[in-house]
Chain A
């Protein structure tokens, strides 16, 4: 669909960007110490840090991706939310306090605290960079692909805009400005999702999205001809002749017989009413002939109860194939274990003053993120029945839902969706900057630096990473990158979690064991992903059957493998001299 862009959205976004960059320069006006650049002096208030956790963690994939998945496939998007939130339990109960007590600036500091081994620092710095880059690519590509429908600018402009803004945020005041940008973004995101949810509940459920007589039960065909022109139902696409928006409610529950709208509903009432309703979603079928590629969007009547149970996206849950179920289990395990292994999340623990503040800020983070995920369920379901969806683009579900209320709200949500990218990317660049400057240059290569030089080195690394991020965002433009976030969770969990957990709970862990576990976990999960059926199909464009892997998500095998390798190698190497205390 062709989307009208809103000058107001550009204005709101520009104001936000100018505002945060101005704030960053103001925060960075004085000369900084390394402690300030990398860890905001450990002086961030726990509440601010908690909301910043949300701003760091809730990426564009969380906001637009999950809303879109719920709007298109129903309940299964919520399974992602449940998994993403559950990971914070591991962070709080197992990882947070030791990370805080053991490390100074980076995740490698914590893993290496007892051994002072260059091997550990090297392995962990590389795994930090690999995980951060995999997380970074979808953020940057997302920035590029969002900017066209939302702000009306070309892909590369979106990528460069985000790259430059984030680099400026990081080099002006490092972790201090990153924290505030994430705090502002986290607050805006949760607040406006709350506003949208109130509006959804206030509107209630409406037959045909309140537009009786519109053609919702007629199929539509989009054709892309070999010369690139687009036809809709055989006629060239224009703003006046475009795909009709989809996603509406056909019949309300019997208790509303004779009415076309439920009127305002309470939160649980809304879900119950939706369950008893009939919804028109759609199927997309593609075929290619000499006239081009045709995609037919055909309406499908579905029971609300079917859309509110698992199986819409994870088809394997209903087909009963064992490997499909293992794939699902593997993903849910990776989400559970991955959060507490993400370097850009872990470094936030160095910005608060002590273990008590670390705990309090995690509780605030869990509250903000949990509320956000409950709200996205309503956003997704509201979009599903808003009669405003673009069948060709899942990412547009939340903004188009906002548009069904008002164009001002569309502008606000568009601008927020775009600023979402800023908060997460600055966290990732910060984590990468620490891995390069503090771990690799200072500790692995042994370059001695004054405090001031350490800051400068970190800033140079941040600029380099910003440039690399922009290049990757443009390079991967035409790839389907949405599943790279899933890769990042798998690699983080496989490479980092076994080492971290065993270091804390098994005194016999040796430095060779840690190096081996991180290296094997990272390489095995990466290799598995590159050979998986999903990657064959979506990245290489090859048939799924050619993949040698039984299922696509590696975590179920590679996380345990990391533990086995660590125990095996540790037992084969001399025990550590200083026995670690139990946490």
Chain B
């Protein structure tokens, strides 16, 4: 079982996983509980629904790169 891997690497993976659960779950909770907030336009342009959706997609990629680089540097 993943014997070639450092245990700290998996800890990082789990930490990033829970961070994403927080982001994804938080967004879905907002959709369910306070959908009215999603039409707010914090930056004047796009609304929160679009910004958060794009943000979730971008953050999946950013966290994935962080993980890849951290594991490669070990």
Contact = CB atoms under 8 A, between A and B. Distances in A.
B28 A332 contact: yes
Nearest to A270: B46
A374 B38 CA distance: 18
A309 B49 contact: yes
A309 B35 CA distance: 8
A75 interface: yes
A317 B35 contact: yes
Given A310-B49, A366-B61, A113 B1 contact: yes
B13 A93 contact: yes
Contacts of A581: 1, 3
Nearest to A373: B57
B61 A271 contact: no
A192 B7 CA distance: 42
Interface string A295-325: 0000000000100111100000110000001
Contacts of B56: 82, 85-86
Contact of B60 (A311, A359, A366, A582): A366
A316 to B, nearest CB: 10
A191 B2 CA distance: 36
Contact of B46 (A81, A268, A329): A268
Contact of B2 (A332, A355, A374): A355
Interface string B20-56: 1000100110011001001101001111011001101
A271 B45 contact: yes
A92 B41 CA distance: 33
A178 interface: no
Contacts of B54: 374
Contacts of A309: 35, 38-39, 47, 49
A82 B5 CA distance: 30
A85 B7 contact: no
A308 B5 CA distance: 44
A362 B16 CA distance: 15
Interface residues on B, range: 35 or more
Interface string A80-93: 01100110111011
A178 B65 CA distance: 27
A374 B57 contact: yes
B53 to A, nearest CB: 5
Interface string B51-74: 001101110110111011001100
Contacts of B20: 86, 89, 93
Most buried by A among B27, B35, B44, B49: B49
A366 B68 CA distance: 12
Given A310-B31, A317-B32, A317-B35, A89 B63 contact: yes
Contacts of A272: 44-46
B63 A97 contact: no
A102 B1 contact: yes
A202 interface: no
Contacts of A362: 64
Contacts of A101: 1-5
Contacts of A275: 41, 46-47
21 contacts: A81-B53, A81-B57, A85-B60, A86-B56, A89-B64, A90-B17, A93-B13, A93-B14, A93-B20, A97-B5, A97-B10, A98-B2, A114-B1, A268-B45, A308-B47, A308-B49, A309-B35, A336-B24, A356-B71, A377-B53, A581-B1
A-B complex: 8 closest residue pairs judged by Cβ atoms:
A93-B17, A272-B45, A93-B13, A583-B2, A101-B2, A370-B57, A363-B64, A89-B20
Interface of A: 75, 78-79, 81-82, 85-86, 88-90, 92-94, 97-98, 101-102, 113-114, 268-269, 271-272, 275, 305, 308-311, 317-318, 325, 328-329, 332, 336, 354-356, 359-360, 362-363, 366-367, 370, 373-374, 377, 504, 580-583
Given A101-B3, A275-B47, A308-B49, 10 more contacts: A97-B10, A271-B46, A308-B46, A329-B28, A366-B64, A370-B58, A370-B61, A374-B57, A583-B5, A583-B10
